[in-house]
Structure 1
Amino acid sequence: MFRFTLNFIFLTLIIRFIYYPNSKRKDYVFTYYLISIIVFFLCFTLKKYEMDIGMALGLFAIFGIIRYRTNPVDIKEMTYLFVVIGVSIINSLANKKMSYAEILSANAIIVVVLVFIEKYWALKQVVSKTIVYENIENIKPENYNLLKNDLENRTGITINSISVGNVDFLKDVATLTIYYYENKQINI
């Protein structure tokens, strides 16, 4: 019970205080808690049968297969899923050769690294959206500033760059890809 409580405390630090404030994705908070709790008890229960590290790797393989059978999940969410599964496995498979100080240290190091990367080292992620644009005169290279200003006014986001894809002169439309920072994301 002590290790489960320890696991739950560190999961709460990771999920609720590191992941959620940056992502605001409540659906993943629920998923991360449930998967990590199930993995903890699954590993803890199976540990009684003297299975080795191959069992833990097998769990990762199962989740990898599930990953390809479901809707696409962002890389950051998959990374946090891997982290909560890893923390649960570490906490459940620790044996008598590993002291509680070592378990606490491993968990604390993971939390500190996550905080450091999330708050201080994370780079802004550039996101892209493909849109159909009807003002075909603005896609000329000399009208780039007009194009960018028009798109920024219409979308309300600050655009880093624009690439022109297919151009249909019969319909007077062009397919554009706009690139912007993730924190400026809106639904287009």
Structure 2
Amino acid sequence: MSPYALYLADLVAIVVLTFAVYLPRHRRRDLVVAFLAVNVGVLAVSAALAQSTIAAGLGLGLFGVLSIIRLRSTELSQHEVAYYFAALALGLIGGLGTTSLWLGVGLMAAIVAVIAVADSPRLLTRLRQQIVVVDRAIPDETALVAHLERLLGGQVHSATILRLDLVNDTTTVDVRYSVGIPTTTTADGAPSSGTAHAAMPEVTR
């Protein structure tokens, strides 16, 4: 089997992953360059290792060290880490080669398809995560969740207090929630839909 077919398949896969999946969704140009460079670099080095007497395990270990250095050099979100390792995996599959061309192409297609589906904006569209700074110190978790639901207009699934500042009267909290307007209970026990209602004027006689 000619290795050039896998090289071509890798280039096609990384172009699809970068320009058809990542860029239209996230619009970050610097990572496009990073994904392409990582993929082509890993492809070249792994192809060279496959033709030499150096063990493939040593090459994979070096790639692991380099990937850790790269990830520590800048702040990446979790979905960007997934794209980064997908580009790395595509390069490894293309460079090291497999016993079958169709197996290699199938693995590359599976990686691209999984990333495309998992990062789809139509998947789990209601789930959100935010770091919220509340303009009051709320140590009670139940009261904090109720306040966040009214503030965000959604159902809070998790609220982790990152910092409780009693001096400046603020609470920093990591919130995981679903968008929507739930029916919650206010501090005085009255039901609330998450929106403020104007009080009806009192009629006097």
Larger radius of gyration, structure 1 or 2? Answer: 2
How is 1:35-184 mapped onto 2 (pairs within 5 angstroms)? 35-67=38-70, 69-94=72-97, 98-119=99-120, 122-123=123-124, 126-131=128-133, 133=135, 149=150, 151-152=151-152, 160-161=155-156, 165-168=163-166, 171=168, 173-177=169-173, 179=175
Q: Secondary structure at the match of 1:119?
A: coil
Q: 2: distance between equivalents of 1:120 and 1:132?
A: 28
Q: Give the conservation status (yes or no) of the 8 Å contact 2:6–2:104.
A: no
For residues 115-173 of structure 1, give each alpha carbon's deviation from its aligned partner in whole angstroms, at most 9, with x where no partner exists: 33333895455423142516x79x99779767755x55xxxxx55546665253x65x2
In structure 1, C-alpha distance between the alignment counterparts of 2:21 and 2:172, rounded to whole Å: 35
RMSD (Å), alpha carbons: 3.6
Report the TM-score, using the length of structure 2 for normalisation. Answer: 0.64
Q: Which moved more, 1:30-39 or 1:19-28?
A: 19-28
- Give 5+ residue unaligned stretches, structure 1: 153-157, 184-188
TM-score normalized by the length of structure 1 = 0.69
Inter-CA distance 159–30: structure 2 relative to 1 (3 Å threshold) = farther
Matched residue SS, 2:120: helix
Alpha-carbon distance between aligned partners in 2 of 1:143 and 1:80, rounded to the nearest angstrom: 35
What SS does structure 2 have at the residue aligned with 1:5?
A: helix
Larger relative contact order (CA 8 Å, sep ≥ 6): 1
Per the alignment, residue 155 of structure 1 pairs with none
Unaligned segments of structure 2, at least 5 residues: 180-205
Partner of 1:49, secondary structure, is coil
Aligned length: 171
